[in-house]
Structure 1
Amino acid sequence: MQALILAAGMGSRLQKYTLDKPKCLVEVNGVSLLKRIVYSLKLANVNKIVIVTGYKDCVLKSYIKENMNNIEVDFIHSADYAKTNNIYSVQLAQDILQRDDTILIESDLIYHPELISRIVEAEGEAIAAVARYKSWMDGTVVKLDKQQGITEFIEKSDFDHTQLETYYKTVNIYKFSKSFSQNKLVPFLNAFVQAFGKNHYYELVLKAITFISPGEVKPYVVEGKWYEIDDPDDLRVANELFANQMR
């Protein structure tokens, strides 16, 4: 099992907090998001880590060299980070995805450190961490069937506000088997980028896969606290939610 961490974005909505560093180095209660993610991976015995870098990549590499020299990290650099979205980061890592089972994590998340262990243990070729939709959440949601398969990925622009109680928010942590990446994810990913370009979210690829094969992507429902940090208000909330974790 390996981990692929997406950390190319500029994090511009965080304003002063990302002027001199990538978003994954923003601290919650004195501990960087990246350090928290790596800690959770080590708890799950995921010791091979690949990071897709972009904005302030030299700062990120220096941080890892100075603070995490006991872990194996490889880097893939997205030179077009300012003009592309995370679908391109995943495409750059397509060879990595096809060599082993992979935990894919977006680097602006904070969560209980044991969450990755639980996702690693979950059964299925493709697992998406999801949580019951709440009003503060932003971005893609999914719907589940009674057999607990994901039947639909729904973009924010397509929300049916009469159905919000049935929605689950994607937490932006996934587990993909080597076979799933080889036979589904990477072929669909390349076809999507060729047709629509690089400035999209990779969840649109999962949406297409699910449209053709409903239930193929299985959910892991996150019951504990987690947060996605996009702006200063999110950072303030995260500092409150995780006040007693890894200080």
Structure 2
Amino acid sequence: MDAVILAAGQGTRLRPLTDDKPKGMVEVDGKPILTHCFDQLIELGADELYVVVGYKKQNIINYYEDEYQGVPITYTHQREQNGLAHALLTVEEHIDDDFMLMLGDNIFQANLSDVVNRQQEQRADAAFLVEEVPWDEASRYGVCDTNKYGEITEVIEKPEEPPSNLVMTGFYTFTPAIFHACQLVQPSNRGEYEISDAIDLLLHSGRTIDAIRMNGWRNDIGYPEDRDEAERRLQDETEKAQTEEAQTEEAAVEDAASVPSSE
């Protein structure tokens, strides 16, 4: 399955970190956000990476060139930042099967594989991770409205008055049907072509849409403090893994020492 990474935005809220680089090149725990994205997508089985670039695009192209960890990279250019649906259409000519989509300003430690598995098993037209966030933060995201059975009935991008606090997280799988929906999307009140509106069109046309609850965590790197929080979480994960590894080794040594000698 191919993977698309959207990395064209200017990252104005991340300034001064993005004064001289696109936000995908802002480092978190010693490496660019895009490297974190690429590593996870390759682990999920990405055959090729399609990176949508725009603002200071040459920084990204010069850094990664035409492959990463042996996986080919193709770049497409979003000349004007007119929204995620607009950005996704720049890769349409390259994609003819199911694919993964990741927003290139997110750090995940979560069950992304559940989304990919659902896509492969049931071939939903769209599948994505959702999470509950504090109500005062919901207006930053694509918000999912649900009925009394918990089924998603509508997806709304950055609403002033969110109908719920259940939001999309920035990782999706799609069939190529999403491209036609993106072509039909009209500019939102923000003047952008929203990916949430494209998903909403699929939903209301009777297409199969699967939302999977996130198990784990993710940080949307929108502000400098989000970068700091993601870095802290990743370092905590590393320390936890090192502690567990040391405990395992210590237990193995103790077990070996407790085995009676054959002499």
TM-score normalized by structure 2?
Answer: 0.78
Structure 2 residue runs without a partner (length 5+): 240-263
Q: Of residues 101, 106, 113 in structure 1, which corresponds to 2:103?
A: 106
Q: Of residues 79, 94, 118 in structure 1, which corresponds to 2:114?
A: 118
1:242 aligns with 2:223: no
Counterpart-to-counterpart distance in 1, 2:21 and 2:66: 15
| 8 Å contact kept, 1:142–1:151 | yes
**Shift in alpha-carbon separation, 1:50–1:147, aligned structure 2, 3 A:** farther
Q: Secondary structure at the match of 1:35?
A: helix
| 8 Å contact kept, 2:8–2:78 | yes
**Deviation of residue 92 (structure 1)?**
1.6
**Shift in alpha-carbon separation, 1:210–1:67, aligned structure 2, 3 A:** closer
1:207 aligns with 2:209: no
**Deviation of residue 231 (structure 1)?**
1.1
Q: Secondary structure at the match of 1:119?
A: helix
Tell me which amino acid in the other structure corresponds to 1:219: A
Counterpart-to-counterpart distance in 2, 1:219 and 1:134: 19
Aligned to 1:228: 220
Aligned to 2:60: 60
Q: How does 1:75-224 map to 2 (within 5 A)?
A: 75-81=75-81, 84-97=82-95, 99-112=96-109, 115-122=111-118, 123-125=122-124, 126-135=126-135, 136-137=137-138, 138-144=140-146, 149-157=151-159, 159-160=161-162, 164=164, 167-177=165-175, 181-182=176-177, 185-193=178-186, 199-213=192-206, 216-224=208-216
Q: Secondary structure at the match of 2:159?
A: helix
| 8 Å contact kept, 2:4–2:51 | yes
Higher CA-based Rg: 2
**Deviation of residue 38 (structure 1)?**
0.9
Off by >6 Å, runs of 4+ in structure 1 = 194-198
Tell me which amino acid in the other structure corresponds to 1:105: M
Tell me which amino acid in the other structure corresponds to 1:85: G
**Shift in alpha-carbon separation, 1:66–1:217, aligned structure 2, 3 A:** closer
Counterpart-to-counterpart distance in 2, 1:22 and 1:175: 24
Q: Deviations over 1:94-125 (max 9, x none)?
A: 2234x12110111000011x633222112441
Structure 1 residue runs without a partner (length 5+): none
Counterpart-to-counterpart distance in 1, 2:216 and 2:71: 27
| 8 Å contact kept, 1:41–1:116 | no
Instruction: Compare relative contact order (CA 8 Å, sep 6+) and give the higher one, 1 or 2.
Output: 1
| 8 Å contact kept, 1:141–1:155 | yes
Counterpart-to-counterpart distance in 1, 2:46 and 2:159: 36
**Shift in alpha-carbon separation, 1:153–1:204, aligned structure 2, 3 A:** same
| 8 Å contact kept, 2:156–2:196 | no
Q: Deviations over 1:200-237 (max 9, x none)?
A: 32211112332343x73110111211110111121122
Q: Secondary structure at the match of 2:181?
A: helix
Percent identity over the alignment is 22
Counterpart-to-counterpart distance in 2, 1:30 and 1:67: 20
Cα RMSD between the aligned structures? 2.8
* Aligned residue pair count: 233
TM-score normalized by structure 1?
Answer: 0.83
| 8 Å contact kept, 1:105–1:173 | yes
